[in-house]
Structure formats: structure tokens, C-alpha cells
Structure 1
Amino acid sequence: MSEPKKPITIHVDADACPVKAEIYRVAERYGVPVIIVANDYIAVPPNPLFRRVVVDDGFDAADNWIAENVGTGDIVVTADVPLASRCVKAGATVIGPNGKPFSEAAIGMALATRNLMTDLRAAGQVTSGPRPFSAKDRSSFLSALDLAINRLRRAGHA
């Protein structure tokens, strides 16, 4: 008899996350716990499914907490590519706020692109930065989160 798989939990890199309201709505629909991780107090709706973790102001403290506490069966919402890489390696499902999934196959290219852009900015090259967050991004995120939860449920995670 196989052991039951770990329940699904959504971990949110919350300091600059534009889709927290959407995460709460989807989590309530599916009954999935959410852990909001930030360096400062962030208001969280009063619901026993939602938990806030406030970490110290140390460099990457929120990222470190998330990376050290996720694994298979978890969903991580972040735009931070290095954090996404760490979470993918830990077995978590990782989704950007724009709905773009970070997969094991694509994380190397995402890191390379991020590093290239960092180097260009450091060399004084003008880069446009990320495009503004749009309604299409929000819709893509909702679809990606719904898909991730259903995929994990089919794999046996509660």
C-alpha cells in the first residue's frame, strides 16, 4: 500500500505579488492552504486556510524560507527566477504571476536571460524592464493556477 501524498499548499513570494486576491479566491474554491511569505506585515483575509509568515529583513530571507519549506505537492507563486529555480529543484510546481510556469526544462533559459539583463543594466545599457502587468496576465495566471492544482490532485495530492 502506498503512502498518501503530501497535501497541496500554495506558497506566495508576497512582497510584490500582484495576484494575491486571485490566489485567495482559487484557494478557497479548492480548499487549498496558502502561506504568504514576506519581509513585512501583509494583510491576509481572515480564513483558516491562509497563513502569514513574516521573515526578517535579511537579503533573500523570504526566498530562503520558501525554498527551504517546499517540495513535491507544493505550488510556488513568484516572479523571482533564482527562487523559482530553487523551488523547481525541490520538486515544487512554480508559476509566475503572469501565468508562466517555470519548469525544469525552461528554468536554465530563464536564469540565463535574467543574468544577461542584469549584466546589460550593470554595463549601463538601457533596458525597458518588464512590461506592465495586464488583465491578460491575470487571466493567464488564474488558468495556470487552476491547471496546477488539478494536475497535482490527479497525481494523488489532496
Structure 2
Amino acid sequence: MGVEIERKFLVDHEKWHQADKPNGVHYQQGYILNDDNRTVRVRVTDTHGYITLKGRGTSNMSRTEFEYEIPVADAKALLKEFAKNSTEKIRYCIPFGGFTWEVDEFSGSNEGLIVAEIELNDEQDNFEKPHWITTEVTDDERYLNSNLATRPFKDWH
């Protein structure tokens, strides 16, 4: 069984915009199933498509996850025909301190939200935070991508 262990943090906008970073990748993702216990997500970039199944884990930090690459055309069709709601973002992958930070700059209804995630091998892993990291929001379910698709940042910020 696949398990994803990740922590989420908000990002200081000013420090982030001044930081040296690689080009980002545009993601559109939609949810075919989205309830309190599980999600089925379809994600598309310009060159890749994915379908991901996530379950409720032992904590907000650890969840079951199964992700599979699918043809881009199939992913686009699934988004169009089956996704009930969606989000868009630019993702930047930043190597730092032996880990890769994934920083998402959201657009659309989540414009203004920048969230950084770090995937860990164990919930107890120690890691160094880049200078642009601020508040941890791992336990705040409003920041789950699946929740941002149904209750966007603009509605509660």
C-alpha cells in the first residue's frame, strides 16, 4: 500500500518572489470523488496526466496514496467529463536540505495562496526550512487541495 507523509506550510510572498527558483509547471486538477475519507483526483500538465486515489490516513500528515500516470488526452477527458470541481496552480520543485519542497502558487478562486509541501519518509523526520516558509498548516484541512476545490481561499481568507 502506498503512503504519503507530508507537511504543509504557508509561504511568505515577498521572500518567495525574491527567491531564486526554477521554472514552474502549470497543473490543473479536478476531483471525481471528494469526501471526508477519500478522493480520486485527475491532474494534467502540458505533457503528463495522472490519476490519484487518496484515503484517510493515520493523521493529517500521513495518508494512503496511489498515483498512476495516464495519457494526457485521457486525463483531459476525465477532467472535462467527470471532475466535479477543480483547482489550478503553478508548482515549483525546490531542492533544499536533502528534501524537495513543492511550492504551489494557486490561481483562479485560490489566487493569492502559496503553499509549500515537503514529503517525508517518516513522520518523525527532521528537516530544515527555507527562509520563505512561515506557518505550518498540515492540520488545517482548509488547505487540502481537495478542500480548496470546493471551498476556495477567496471565500474564507
Q: TM-score, normalised by structure 2?
A: 0.26
Q: Which structure's residues are more often strand, by fraction?
A: 2
Relative contact order (alpha carbons < 8 A, sep ≥ 6): 1 or 2 greater?
Answer: 2
